Amino acid sequence: MTRQGNRRSTIYKGADGHWHGRVTVGLTEEGRVDRRHVMSRSKSVVVEKVRALEKARDQGQLGKVSERWTVEDWLEHWLENIARPFVKQDTYEGYRAAVRKHLVPGLGRHRLDALKPEHLERLYVAMLKLPTRRGTLMSPGRVHQVHRTLRAALNEAVRRGYITRNPAELAKTPTVEDHEVEPYTVAEVQLLFAAAGQERNGTRWVVALALGLRQGEALGLKWEDVDWDRAILTIRRSRVRPRWAHGCGGSCAHKYGGHCPQRQALRPDADTTKSKAGKRFVPLPAAILDLLRAHAATQELERQTAGQLWLNQGWIFATELGEPINPRTDWDRWKKLLVAGGVRDGRLHDARHTAATVLLLLGVHERTIMSVLGWSTTAMVSRYAHVIAPIQTDLAARLDSLLWASQKDVPAPAPAAGRGLPQ
């Protein structure tokens, strides 16, 4: 091949002694001719490179070169201009932590169009060797979260033509072991109910164990969400973790903004539910309605005691001054409840698994379970199918009769040897 006109590919030997090839692949975003260059001391190598460029051009596999992105430049652009305006605050903060703590330090200097799966795999292996604040090594689950963030960012780069293929789709990730779900037994639930009866805001734990609300959904409840006549609870918002800034201009002695006497909120108290399916109506058993009435009366006494200090925002589960409860404080109280009830340790989210298992035991249709728990797919229900596989009898008893049966002779919690609720 020799020099050609009309924007056709050219191969020639330059004054530097190297063979050069130039291939026109289209136009840049500015409307200029996008002409790629390859070179080698061997003419045959240049011929092969030119043919490869022409093939990629004809198959639409060439990315744009109008912007020479580094991985750091693209990730920061994606984070602030593409992700942040369109995702929830918690999602954005997860992305930000992954990008700035792991991805930029580990991959930021690479050119975006030169990033390879091997670069990602080396980063993931290195991350697994990093110590955490608890003294353990980083978990594969955390590495997967970072991987998913990178995959989302690079998918957008592919969609916009800056790269032709997403290396995160090819990279191997560490194996994540599924957490074995072990719902609390009926006896354990009743022990927790008894302990919750001695706690301020104890109804909050009954709601968690019986109705399966997510933590944010339970803490985001307001009295306006309760339909007393129809015995219906509307789930429409979720409490989010507060973020604070110093309001003192840095004059106080506190390190964190949340401890500043003049602290200023950086985000609202609540957001919409996790998904569209999360906004739902949940039927209330009579026992929970009675507990809510008693809780409302107790809160009214607290409001009168607090007087003008009471923050009248209508939260069902609130502090002594009517403020929304911090999710971290809520988690601590859950751990204390387990100790008070003499029940084995478990995650707060296990209360949600317990509620799902109870509904399965009651023979509730999976579509109904989805609507109660706010799931958008039946795959979530199938995760619990092994719990009821051996159970063939018809359990038509209602939620009231199962969880609020006579508690005079409540047996001690069974050893955690198996999973699921006993027959």
145-165 pLDDT per residue, tens: 999 999 999 999 999 888 989
Separation between Cα atoms, residue 46 and residue 14, nearest integer Å: 12
- For residue 405, the one-letter residue type is A
The pLDDT of residue 8: 83
Task: Using the CB atoms, write b or e for 293-324: b if 16+ within 10 Å.
Answer: eebeeebeeebeeeeeebeeeebbbbbeebeb
Taking residues 45-69, report their average pLDDT.
Answer: 79
The first and second tokens of residue 28, run together, are 């840049």
Neighbours of 31 (CB within 10 A): 7
Taking residues 246-260, report their average pLDDT.
Answer: 82
pLDDT digits (tens, 9 = 90+) for 307-316: 999 999 999 9
Superfamily of domain 71-169: Tyrosine recombinase, N-terminal domain (1.10.150.130)
Separation between Cα atoms, residue 119 and residue 340, nearest integer Å: 50
The pLDDT of residue 414: 54
Fold of 186-234+276-403: hpI Integrase; Chain A (1.10.443)
Residue with tokens 């992700």: 83
Signed CA dihedral, 67, 73, 79, 80: sign only? negative
Long-range own/partner contacts, residues 3-8 (CB < 8 A, 24 or more apart)? 7/33, 7/35
pLDDT band of residue 97 (cuts 50, 70, 90) is very high
Residue with tokens 């925002």: 313
For strand 226-227 and strand 280-283, is the pairing parallel, antiparallel, or unpaired? unpaired
Residue with tokens 């809520």: 330
- For residue 68, the one-letter residue type is R
Please say whether the beta carbons of 314 and 223 come within 8 A: yes
pLDDT band of residue 144 (cuts 50, 70, 90) is very high
Separation between Cα atoms, residue 5 and residue 18, nearest integer Å: 21
For strand 232-235 and strand 226-227, is the pairing parallel, antiparallel, or unpaired? antiparallel
Among 296, 333, 331, 343, which residue's Cα sits nearest to residue 315? Answer: 296
The pLDDT of residue 78: 96
Rounded to a whole number of angstroms, the CA Rg of the chain reads 29
Average pLDDT in the chain: 83
The first and second tokens of residue 265, run together, are 């909120």
Give the angle 411-414-419 at the CA atoms, nearest 5°: 135
pLDDT digits (tens, 9 = 90+) for 193-230: 999 999 999 999 988 888 888 899 999 999 999 999 99
pLDDT band of residue 420 (cuts 50, 70, 90) is very low
pLDDT band of residue 396 (cuts 50, 70, 90) is very low
> In angstroms, what CA-CA distances link 347 with 21, 183, 372?
62, 10, 21
DSSP assignment of 16-53 equals TS-EEEEEEEEE-TTS-EEEEEEEES-HHHHHHHHHHH
Separation between Cα atoms, residue 210 and residue 233, nearest integer Å: 13
Length of the chain in residues, anyone? 423
